[in-house]
Amino acid sequence: MKSLITLSTALLMSLNTTAAGLEHVEPPNWWVGMRDTSLQLMLHGAGIAEAQPTLAPYPGVTLKGSHRATSANYLFVDLDVAPGTQPGELALTVAGRTLHYPLLARARGSAERQGFGPQDAIYLVVPDRFAQGGSGKQAAMKEGVHRADPGGRHGGDLAGMRQHLDYIAGLGFTQVWPTPLVENNSAQYSYHGYAATDFYKVDPRFGTNDDFAAFVSEARSKGVGVIQDVVLNHIGSGHRWMADLPAPDWVNQWPAGYTETHHARMTLQDPYASASDRLRFTDGWFVPGMPDLNQRRPELATYLTQMTLWWIERYGLSGIRTDTYSYSDRDFLTRWSARVMQEYPRLNIVGEEWSPHPAVVAYWQRGKKNHDGYVSYTPSMMDFPLQTNLLAALTEDDGAHTGLTKLYEGLAHDFVYPDPANLVLFDGNHDTPRIHSLLKKDVGLTRIALAYLATTRRIPQLFYGSELLMQSPTERDDGRVRADMPGGWPGDGVNAFTGAGLTAEQREMQDWTRRLFNWRKGAAVIHDGALMQYAPLEGCYVFFRYGAGRTVMVVLNKNARPVELALARFGERTRVGDRARDVLGGREFQLGATLAVPAHSPLILEISR
């Protein structure tokens, strides 16, 4: 890692000395041994587009050419780095100045790295709201810390997250997903990270790129992988591109002026959709402060792809989460996902497609045979349909088409997915109200939701603080949904990490969550077993995970009273005399004709003969 940091520093020094006037080179370095040998450098500096670059001889590296777009201040340089090329430093002369460009060796096993999957559990954090450890710097940024403002920056940083990795790992989580950490230098609402002003730089208020490297490295040493949140669809209005676009079509612009997306995502699958509706969905902007990128522009498509690969390779990531997935150009998404998976065949990418319809989400998953021939290489998607059904199951009265039936039928729709086990199911996220509040602060229902999350045939993701029964308004209120993690700041009266000041109910929930996910970590049948479910009856929903002589029985009891569950119905998976162990309560017993299920609770049993 030290050698990477040294080479990156050397590059910056060379830019400031031997290539004065060249302001930016992106990507800032590259690697030998990539499967796709092409590399396009984006050079930015006053008048640089007129330059004719030359490359000093370097075995295995060829200068294929260069070209400008529209602006006089950008030059795109195309290189080829052949297989077998050795690490070193390229000498690229541009307008009489020499750029010393690092070509690094890939880390051992980088291409074969194992991405996150059903064996994992993901903990989602909003870095600004998780913990402050002292790595952030406020100087020269447009927005400072205003912790009392729900929509302001609160000062969480990389050092804070790093200091509490033991807490995350101790809860049983094997992956952490921070919302974006790249620079968002905006005057307001910069804390969330989804309006990048520099794709290659960690926001100084979180720390430095070296702080991020240290965070990833320490997380890995504790058995926790890091998933990077990447935004391909848009940037922040403060991005330097907006003051000098490389080309007028670098962002999507409309003759009538600012045009907002109508969020009609189903236009992309609708066989009757108008072309104008499809265009407005993909090319409309989210808000005036988030210019919509045009990935049909070849240089921009290459830039975004190389940027993604750079973060994975440079920091040893275990996966990518892609924001607002379907809003980007879909042909670009095919090429982008194919290139990422070409370089890292075992990596995982999860896309955000916020739709309640399984057919719409399935459209974007790798392996789906689509009606229009569209092909994706993205292995995973966020399972918004099943999350919607989970909430309905626990808030609606049960009926033929309501309540628990929705959860049962939601899972039955797995036939539309090419790989349902690789979908990410979540209790909530930074854009949704807190689950405990949506479930009317009912601890029993919250435990049922988390038990389902941990045991069904999915990759589970928990939003930070759910283990503490954190609350929010039930209508969307981003600032309060993303409230500070108790104990993350010096002087906090309540501390999630030490337990100080937590209520008895919070401590019990935290301990229960810890037992649940630490059990899951070692329960191989939950990671790779088959699933058999039984239609809900009388407020109870039962399913089994099984395979290779292993069986887990899960009972979700919505009733306000204990239930004596007749077991004859489940004879395909268990029988009288089987041994059972309550994985959360620890009790061991022999199954009889009926099973006692506590009121308003989940029951998870390991079954053996």
Please state whether beta strands 601-608 and 579-582 pair in parallel, antiparallel, or not at all (unpaired).
Answer: antiparallel
Q: What is the DSSP letter of 572?
A: T
367-395 burial code (b ≥16 CB/10 A, e <16): ebeeeeebebbbbbbbbbbbbbbbbbbbe
Report the percent of the chain where pLDDT is more than 90. Answer: 95
Please write the tens of the pLDDT for every residue from 303-330.
Answer: 999 999 999 999 999 999 999 999 999 9
Is 192:178 a contact under the CB 8 Å cutoff? Answer: no
Confidence at residue 581, expressed as pLDDT on a 0 to 100 scale: 98
- DSSP character string of 61-121: EEEEEEE--SSTTEEEEEEEE-TTPPPEEEEEEETTEEEEEEEEPPPTT-TT-----TT--
Nearest to 393 by CA among 408, 372, 378: 408
Residue 142 has pLDDT above 50, yes or no: yes
| pLDDT tens profile 505-561 | 999 999 999 999 999 999 999 999 999 999 999 999 999 999 999 999 999 999 999
pLDDT-derived band at 139, boundaries 50, 70, 90: confident
Question: Right CATH number for 2-104 from 3.20.20.70, 2.60.40.10, 3.30.1600.10, 1.10.10.10?
Answer: 2.60.40.10
Q: What is the pLDDT of residues 157-201, one digit of tens each?
A: 999 999 999 999 999 999 999 999 999 999 999 999 999 999 999
CA angle 103, 300, 29 (to 5 degrees): 15
Comparing C-alpha atoms, which of 317, 384, 375 is closest to residue 353? 384
d(CA 268, CA 283): 13
Task: Give the start-to-end residue ranges of the domains of the chain.
Answer: 2-104, 122-236+319-525, 530-608
What is the pairing mode between strands 563-566 and 424-426?
unpaired
Instruction: Give 400's pLDDT tier (boundaries 50, 70, 90).
Output: very high
Residue range 336-350: average pLDDT?
Answer: 98
| Closest C-alpha to 301, from 22, 76, 14, 476 | 76
Residue 180: DSSP 8-state: P
Q: Is the peptide bond before 27 cis (omega within 30 degrees of 0)?
A: yes
User: What letter would DSSP give residue 593?
Assistant: S
2-104 and 530-608: same fold?
yes
Rounded Cα distance, 235 and 197, in Å: 7
What's the rounded mean pLDDT across residues 252-275?
A: 96
Is the distance from CB of 523 to CB of 517 less than 8 angstroms?
Answer: no
Residue-wise burial string across 291-318, b where 16 or more C-beta atoms lie within 10 A, e elsewhere: bbbbbebebbbbbbbbbbbbbbbbbbbb
- Provide the annotated active-site residues: 323, 352
Across 84-103, average pLDDT: 96
**Angstrom distance (rounded) from CA 11 to CA 330:** 35
- Work out the mean pLDDT of the chain and round it to a whole number: 95
Q: Quote the pLDDT of residue 21.
A: 72
Give the pLDDT of residue 211: 98
Superfamily of segment(s) 122-236+319-525? Glycosidases (3.20.20.80)
**pLDDT tens-digit profile of 111-138?**
999 999 999 999 999 999 999 999 999 8
Terminal Cα distance for the chain, rounded: 50
Full 3-state SS string of 395-440: HCCCCCCCCHHHHHHHHHHHHHCCCHHHCEEECCCCCCCCHHHHCC
Nearest Cα residue to 406 out of 417, 395, 422, 390:
390
pLDDT attached to residue 507: 98
Q: Please give the helix or strand (H or E) that residue 602 lies within, else none.
A: strand 601-608
Does the structure show a pLDDT above 90 at 6? Answer: no
pLDDT at 15: 44
Name the helix (H) or strand (E) containing 177.
strand 175-178
C-beta of residue 290 within 8 angstroms of C-beta of residue 232: no
Name the CA radius of gyration of the chain, rounded.
Answer: 26
What is the rounded average pLDDT of the residues 221-228? 98
Read off the tokens for 421. 């086990």
User: Are β-strands 348-351 and 319-322 bridged in parallel, bridged antiparallel, or unpaired?
Assistant: parallel
Chain mean position to CA 369 = 25
Is 608 a residue whose pLDDT tops 90?
yes
- The CATH number of the structural domain formed by 530-608 is 2.60.40.1180
Burial of 78 (0-12, 13-18, 19+ CB in 10 A): middle
pLDDT at 609: 86
pLDDT at 238 > cutoff 70: yes
- Do the bridges between strand 97-104 and strand 30-31 make them parallel or antiparallel, or are there none, so unpaired? parallel
Look up residue 448 and give its two tokens: 């049922």
Q: Which among 406, 294, 423 is positioned nearest to 353, based on CA atoms?
A: 423
Distance from the Cα of residue 375 to its chain's centroid: 21
